[in-house]
Structure 1
Amino acid sequence: MPPDQRPNILWIVGEDCPPRFGCYGDPHARTPHLDALARRGVVFEHAFSAAPVCAPSRFALLTGVAPESNAPANHQRARAEIPGWMRTYPEILRDLGYYCTNNAKTDYNATLDPAAIWHESSPDAHWRNRPAGAPFLAVFNFDGTHESSVFTPETPEVAPTAVRVPAYLPDTPAVRGDLARHYRHIANLDAFVGELLAQLTADGLAGDTIVIHTSDHGGVHPRSKRFLYDEGLHVPLIIAAPDRFAARFPARGTRIEAAVSTIRIPPTLVDLAGGEIPGHMQGLSLAQQAFDPAAGLAFGMRNRMDERPDVIRTVRDARYRYIRNYHPHRPHGRHLGFAWLAAAYQSWEEGHRAGRLDPVQDAFWRPKPGVELYDTVRDPDQVVNLVGDPHHAAVEERLARALRAHLLAVHDNGFLPEGSPVEGYERSREPGRYPLERVLDVADAVTRQDPAELPRFLRALDDPDATVRRWGAIGILALGAAATEQAARLRAVVGNDPDPFVVIPAAESLARFAGDENAVAVLSGLSAAAHPAPVRLEALNALTALPPEHVRPFRDTVAAAADDDHEYVRGAGRYLLFQIEGTYTPQSPVFLWERFAFTAQGAGS
């Protein structure tokens, strides 16, 4: 593409910011600049992030690769190694002659040096610093909408009585207050967007610059950020092109109904710059005219969120969301030290502990269903699970097939335990190292929670592959009391399997359902400082699932974890210590700001 035909690109990213804008129909929003941008651009009604938390989602936004393709990028706060040939979009655009800047958050969840991929990545980075005549790609991140913005009590601009409380949350002053407070910060985001657009105009660049606005993921009230419902994944996506580039997109004012993923933004940037989209990028360019609502799909994932390991996968079309919970024995409502700084989480848990919640509100605190399906038109809060409904059987089957095909296509590393030597884009793809289809056969059976699957799980315990064995042990754990007759088999696993990630779920089953005191001792030993952090976290989470009195004899080990230098080991240990000492309340200081490690990768969860 000749240089004078290449657009400049301004990409503005709000943090933790769902589309609570006027242009998305929110009656309380004060977003005049974003609304005006939408009127002169294309609005994607159903855009979703690759992950419901910053670091994994930002890995996808940088590379165009799903984080679960390149473990441990799929976990919150990790440092994934990426292959040398896997070039990020700023590196590609720099080779195309673009001046590329990032202002200023990185948080890429990878061992990447921002100084090596950007011309400038700093609070001072700006297109105004470019060489004369160079086209630019300028990324600006707005941190003011981060979930921590609601941690500090302040008078909201929107009356708490005016906001709508989702059906899954209790209607309390704390919940209403957190919902209402976020609107002030969204208004600040809008002002930030307006200032950047004014600078473009003042510099005479508005007619040459394509503007993109989105968020890294949804948020920020409970059961949004970190969770695979629409509130955690739904993001604004507006693309506004000036006249000379408008033909690359549908007509101005078009609202796209098809589901799209923000993983498609990196290939879009390469495409707009006139480059060849590299084969490793997993999405299609959004610079096109046709979007088919019947065919568009957006996939999402969740693995470890802070101190809580989990495995969940989802797919969304224009109407339905399908979710598979691979740890159905774990409730969503597991304490997360950082998230619980929000008054709304504290209020929700107080209601649960006091027995004041209705069944819809209390579902968060109970074990998850293995599979979920929601009609987001009739049920926007996603509380009526349609799995097994004969009227939706075809939808369920279609989305289940699509999700399975996607997991295989991206070679999903998320079924490996964190810290596995097989993790990584290239290592996991070495022949024979990660038998993903065999793993999925067992893991999918876990979500069915059917005692008839027990023979499959027992066979898996004899598999030569440790990951298959691990999922066999998880399957028995998820069956719970239905598998108590397998105590002898599980004791053999605990005593003989060399992989701690196989031993931990087997020991938890023995401790929870067979009253095996030695199994508790094994879990306590695996939570000690001699083991790597991922092993310790798994063991601490298993101990947390036990009655506190069973763990109390191992208080010293828990107390040592509660004072550990590793942020997430410390958080898991502090919470468990409060539990076994009988002093826990939802306001207990589990997260310690004074020991939180702020880094250039980005602060906060």
Structure 2
Amino acid sequence: MGHDLTRRNLLGSAAGAAALAAAGPVRAAATGQARPNILWLVSEDNNPFIGAYGDKLAHTPTIDELARKGLLFRNTYSNAPVCAPSRFGILTGVYPESCAPANHMRAQAQLPQELRTYPELMREAGYFCTNSAKTDYNCDVDPEKIWDGQGDEAHWRSREDKSQPFMAVFNYQTTHESRIFKPTTGRVTPEMVSIPPFLPDTPGTRQDFASYYNLMEKMDGQLAERLAELEADGLADDTIVFYYSDNGGVLGRSKRYCYDEGLRCAMVVYAPPKWQHLLPGRPGSEITSPVSFIDLAPTVLALAGARQPAYMRGKPFLSARAQPQRYAFGMRNRMDERIDFQRTVTDGRWRYIRNYMPHRPWGQQQAFEWLAKGYQEWEQAHIDGTLNPVQDRFFQPKPFEELYDLAADPHEINDLAASPEHRATLAELSGALDAQMLAINDNGFLPETMPGEGWSESRDTALYPLKEVMALAATAARGKASGLGALRRAARHSAPVMRYWAATGLLILGEKAASAKADLQRLLADNEPQVRIVAAEALTKLGHADEGVEVLVALAASGPWQVRLYALNALTYIGRAAMPALEIARATQNDSSEYIKSAGKYLKLRLTDAYTPQTTIFDYEGLMRKIRAGNGPG
């Protein structure tokens, strides 16, 4: 980076000039190291609302200057549209859906002993590794054990041997989703922003966008302060700097969703002159081939000269010999208190999405998400009937497959999945997704707590015959009557996951599954509670509410919180038939699980006709206390 880059960039803003002055006089650059230092500057929850990416409303001089003298990665994607699963993948180099329940939001996967995190491997390679301060790794890793320094004060300056190469990670929560729940004033005002066509143009939505731009500018200034420290310590000429965001943005239909707004991130990498031979492009150029965060761990291991373990699925992208990748993959399972299941793949030009739970709308009410005024006003407009079809689609059931031409349709509103002229593209991307799911042993078909979940158990084909499960789940999600026979046969399968997807297919078929009533009644007594939940909801939809609701109420009342949450979700979608669950819904407000509280309160409000989109369900003040402690939602 050198003195030239940092000083010019910092002195362009008052905050940067103050930071450089506070950092003290610039010392002579450290003498040559055999390996580079690595600095990660990680912001939370943002798409490339950045000048270097062509956003004319953005004011991000620090990132823009890094891009001017470094590499801008045009098509960078997180592997999940929310932080906890995404960070699991970054930490381990393993797709979160390979090690359930790491694929769910805010879960606690068990990390097998044979999987080593990248900071452990970097430390073994001789690096001093620090993380300040967020973890949110979605697994049982102890952060204190994998880092040399972990917490707010963790810094490269803590290393005793100043000649030791370091890897330092700094996380910036300035742009976190929670920050748009209240307006942030600044350079950008609501009337200046452009609203994408899938969102209604409301005051709250405009303010959310304006706040987001202003938070991005604030975060950019914080990056300048960190770079000033690097410069003051004489380390700039020996340090490769990465800036990236941990997942996509927080505005409507972004975070938690498998569209570009949820998965597309910014990433800029700067290498000082002595390390520029490691870059796959010239300074100031762009890389347009897809890169995803599963590639981050292999990349830093390669920079450190360390061997990449076989279980890491990504590839290093900083190398003169780096080969462009063809695809980037993403996923969604449970997000907060709502259950869903999507898989997606993009080549940067096309995005293919597969919906395994098409009977649930995109826009399931989520207590935390709905603290944003934009979401409140979007749903209110839906209730009022003032949305156009493009905007109202968010609240409707989903198709099995979606296909978008990102070049012609960057907002992903023109679904081409049924277009005959795009059949070959659909087949190519669908095939690539199938191959990926099999290659990584995708655990996503297993509802939480079901036998077979996890890295090792999911490789037991008696519990989890993945290829067979994938075929059945596709039959279920297509919702065609021609699949009824296969679903009824699978309802007697020995593997619980097969019975679960058989019941799910019968639920999706609705009245077309009337002839399978006896199969569903038999599944009400299944050994696995998740199977009973889906069968009960399906029976209720067929008009047998007494049988189904009794099972759902019992499962919502006791047992593991994950099972109770599934039952509460099912009760939410059966309408007035769920009235016997009212007392259970009220009782959830004393529960230790925030997700149970949120799902239960929403159900209670719906059953008592007290719900409005503006009703506060999530404990915001409690959230603020968690964020101040460094443990807020991702």
Q: What TM-score, normalized to structure 1? A: 0.97
- State the match for 1:50 in structure 2: 79
1:188 to 218, 225, 228: 218
- State the match for 1:590 in structure 2: 617
- State the match for 2:8 in structure 1: none
- State the match for 2:294 in structure 1: 263
- State the match for 1:301 in structure 2: 331
What does 1:128-147 correspond to in 2, within 5 Å?
A: 128-131=157-160, 132-147=162-177
- State the match for 1:577 in structure 2: 604
Q: Is the 8 A contact 1:484 1:514 kept in 2?
A: no
Closer, same or farther: CA 200–554 of 1 in aligned 2, 3 Å: closer
The percentage of aligned residue pairs carrying the same residue is 46
CA distance in 1, matches of 2:86, 2:551: 35
Counterpart of 2:251 in structure 1: which amino acid? H
Q: Is the 8 A contact 1:258 1:292 kept in 2?
A: no
Q: Give the 3-state SS of the residue equivalent to 2:242 in structure 1.
A: strand
- State the match for 2:449 in structure 1: 419
* Unpaired stretches in structure 2, ≥5 consecutive residues: 1-31
- State the match for 1:248 in structure 2: 278
Q: Which moved more, 1:65-74 or 1:440-449?
A: 440-449
Deviations 1:484-519 (A, max 9, x none): 23223211221x311111111111111123243221
CA distance in 2, matches of 1:391, 1:292: 30
What does 1:448-463 correspond to in 2, within 5 Å?
A: 448-463=478-493
- State the match for 1:153 in structure 2: 183
What does 1:190-205 correspond to in 2, within 5 Å?
A: 190-205=220-235
Deviations 1:183-239 (A, max 9, x none): 111011111111111221111111111001111101111210000000000001111
CA distance in 2, matches of 1:581, 1:562: 15
Deviations 1:157-208 (A, max 9, x none): 3121221111111011111110111111101111111111122111111111
CA distance in 2, matches of 1:21, 1:595: 32
- State the match for 1:282 in structure 2: 313
CA distance in 2, matches of 1:391, 1:275: 47
1:594 deviation in Å?
A: 5.0
Q: Is the 8 A contact 2:355 2:400 kept in 1?
A: yes
Q: Is the 8 A contact 1:156 1:177 kept in 2?
A: no
Q: Is the 8 A contact 1:102 1:121 kept in 2?
A: yes
- State the match for 2:54 in structure 1: 25
Pair 1:538-2:566 in alignment: yes
Q: Give the 3-state SS of the residue equivalent to 1:462 in structure 2.
A: coil
Q: Is the 8 A contact 2:129 2:149 kept in 1?
A: yes
CA distance in 2, matches of 1:430, 1:500: 21
Pair 1:370-2:400 in alignment: yes
Q: What TM-score, normalized to structure 2? A: 0.92
* Superposition CA RMSD, Å: 1.6
Deviations 1:378-397 (A, max 9, x none): 11110111002111111100
- State the match for 1:273 in structure 2: 304
Q: Give the 3-state SS of the residue equivalent to 1:5 in structure 2.
A: coil
* Unpaired stretches in structure 1, ≥5 consecutive residues: none
The aligned length equals: 600
CA distance in 1, matches of 2:209, 2:323: 34
Closer, same or farther: CA 420–489 of 1 in aligned 2, 3 Å: closer
CA distance in 2, matches of 1:421, 1:111: 19
Deviations 1:299-339 (A, max 9, x none): 00111101011111000112000000100000011111111
CA distance in 1, matches of 2:474, 2:276: 45
Deviations 1:329-386 (A, max 9, x none): 0001111111110000000000000000000100010101111000011111101110
- State the match for 1:519 in structure 2: 548
Q: Is the 8 A contact 2:317 2:323 kept in 1?
A: no
2:495 to 465, 470, 473: 465
1:601 deviation in Å?
A: 6.6
Q: Is the 8 A contact 2:103 2:444 kept in 1?
A: yes
Counterpart of 2:601 in structure 1: which amino acid? R
1:128 deviation in Å?
A: 1.2
Q: Which moved more, 1:591-600 or 1:13-22?
A: 591-600
Q: Give the 3-state SS of the residue equivalent to 1:212 in structure 2.
A: strand
Q: Is the 8 A contact 1:562 1:572 kept in 2?
A: no
CA distance in 2, matches of 1:430, 1:450: 30
Closer, same or farther: CA 576–174 of 1 in aligned 2, 3 Å: same
1:156 deviation in Å?
A: 4.5
What does 1:106-505 correspond to in 2, within 5 Å?
A: 106-131=135-160, 132-249=162-279, 250-289=281-320, 296-494=326-524, 496-505=525-534
1:602 deviation in Å?
A: 2.4
1:481 deviation in Å?
A: 2.1
Q: Is the 8 A contact 1:48 1:262 kept in 2?
A: yes
